[in-house]
Structure 1
Amino acid sequence: MFVTCAYAGAPNQAHRERLRAVVEDVVRPIMDEHDIPGVAVAVTVGGSPYFFNFGVASRDDGRGVSERTIFEIGSISKTFTATLASYAQEVGALSLSDPASDYLPGLRGSRFDGISLLELGTYTAGGLPLQFPDNVTAQGMTSYYRNWRPDFAPATHRRYSNPSIGLFGFLAAERLGKPFDELMEAKLFPMLGLPDTYIRVPTARMKDYAFGYSKEGKPIRVGPGVLDSEAYGVKTSSADLLRFVELNMTSAGLDEALRRAIKATHTGYYRVGAMTQGLGWELYDDPDDLKQVLAGNSAEIAYKPNKVEWFSPARHPREAGLINKTGSTNGFGAYAAFIPAKKIGVVILANRNYPIPARVTAAHRILIGAGALPF
């Protein structure tokens, strides 16, 4: 197995080696148990990044994983979509309290007259499904929404949904006047300083794009889908995703509107069990309580409707103890988490979709280990 490590700015070699040992002790058993070809782990401690790479990006040619290997991150993409929409609000292009139908003429006169952008972005529109039905096409998307009938009144239940946050991102792009993919690749990613992050991986970077592996062990990459870019379409490296995590903890030096937009995505809108819903991100009060984080990332929360308890007023971003998001495609599994008060964060990218509890537990062990080291 290929294993590489890289460090930047750390003052103490002994502490670095202890962190490496923590990461290896966590990652190797997971790779063995779930037959994962390659894993990229990135950790930030007080602004210093550390990279730990295991295995291969492709079993066919044996390319080793590095911190610039490009992985599919699935629903972690939603945190970028949320950042774009939050930015649109900060520059006056939209208001999250406005009805969704204000921004798409084809929705006027439908149930979306009474559904806000915020409800779309927080999965509380009334029960939009996890995925679009198989017969829905990009051309028929507006018709699907017009004919959709909610199961619940808006703002009463959370049902995690790609069509919900997908429409949220689509409408934000409409208000900013350009296609979503273009806004992400030509505006947001460069503003964030992310050279390895794409919706559409260019030909020149395909050699760095890992292959995911299906349950049967066959190489696979994500295919096209309705509003796929907005919901699960980002491809990035552990170095770039760690930078995004760092910017979510300290966004000094960014454009002021973007800095405010990132902070606003940590606003807590409502609670489901121990999990507080932000915009894209999911928040927890106690960063040391692994059981809470596992419960918030459970199938019960992800796949079933849950009644919500809205905060009035919304919770300030500084109240979040731990912030996280998981993401998957058929061939990849990803997780990002950070503890703002301690300035520590972790990214784990793998080219196999392995169980979410294993990701959450692994990341928590790494965060606890990193937080215990006196860097």
Structure 2
Amino acid sequence: MHPIDAHTLIDDPYGTYEKLRESGPVHRVTGSDGRPAWLVTRYDDVRKGLADPRLSLDKSTARPGNYSGFSLPPALDANLLNMDPPDHTRVRRLVVKAFTPGRVHKLRTPVRKVADALLDAVEPAGGADLLAAYAGPLPVIVICDLLGVPQEDRVDFRAWTDALITPDPERPHQAKEAVVSLMRFFTGLIASKRAEPGDDLLSDLIAVREAGDTLSEDELTSLAFLILFGGYENVVHLIGNTVLALLDRPELLRSVRTNPDGLAALVDEVSRWDGPVPLAIRRFTAQEMEIGGVLVPAGETVLLSLASANRDPAHFAHPDRLDLDRDRSGNLALGHGIHYCLGAALGRMETETALAALLERFEKLELDVPREALRWRPTIRARGLISLPVRW
């Protein structure tokens, strides 16, 4: 099998995935760091892989020389995306106690207030880069509120997360500097919450106990990092991708305006059709195993393509069509099995609220640049636009 370059998956992801699915279920690819991995493209294999305990998230099972994703210090690496049971079971059980549906429900009104305030600030200009002025700041503010970050201590988390996702080639130390800054910030925040707990998620995580068990310092730090990282990046791109889908389809835009109840279906369908997470977190074969009829040696990196699985015609009829009335049961955009996204309800609520506020505010919304001028972020880890200039 000939390696597939990551740039091909960035420039034309869905056309490339279609060809890959047709030619075989598993392919040898080159990761963004130039190291090899196995890419799984068909729905049934991806769904099975997401729940297969032989595909480990623990980096200690990986052989050197394979793609392994971010290199983070232990205090940020001890998170749910790098754990297998029983550690994963224990930590997730403790976290779920603080990450309740009731907390998400209580955030809906505050999120709408944040959205309205951001739109108030940009409305007089008649247009803006929707990502920089709206979709980007909104989840950062929400996460700061959720974690209980005081107003005077809020910093530009976006600069740190961007440095990790798409580092500037001209600033090779940027990612390491971002990691140091994140660790310093969260270590200080956790210490202050221990001293003075508040009505916030981080205070709850510090206090949570079950049968005498608590989260360790590294687990707390890495969880705060994960909540920030996943909660910011994915929501920004889901808002941006959904707005672009509407701008490309005036009839759908009119339909959603007249039927706001359709926003939930719209967000769910866009997450399937052009979601912000093309690949599940990398996994490693804990033993030699067969995937889609291909024998993969132990210690190899496996990338399960959510984007490809969600466009597999073997599971979704006419998968390239954006269809709010389709049966989306089995949508893998947020994962499957024990690693299903913990913040799924929060991310959906933020996106739906942001879209509702935007569409209610501006009766006329259109692109402010030619469609072909839009550019996607140069990474296989995320599916999102670099900017989205619009006018109203």
TM-score (norm 2): 0.24
Task: Give the structure with the larger strand fraction.
Answer: 1
Task: Give the structure with the larger helix fraction.
Answer: 2
Higher alpha-carbon Rg:
2
Point out which structure has higher relative CO (alpha carbons under 8 A, 6+ apart): 2
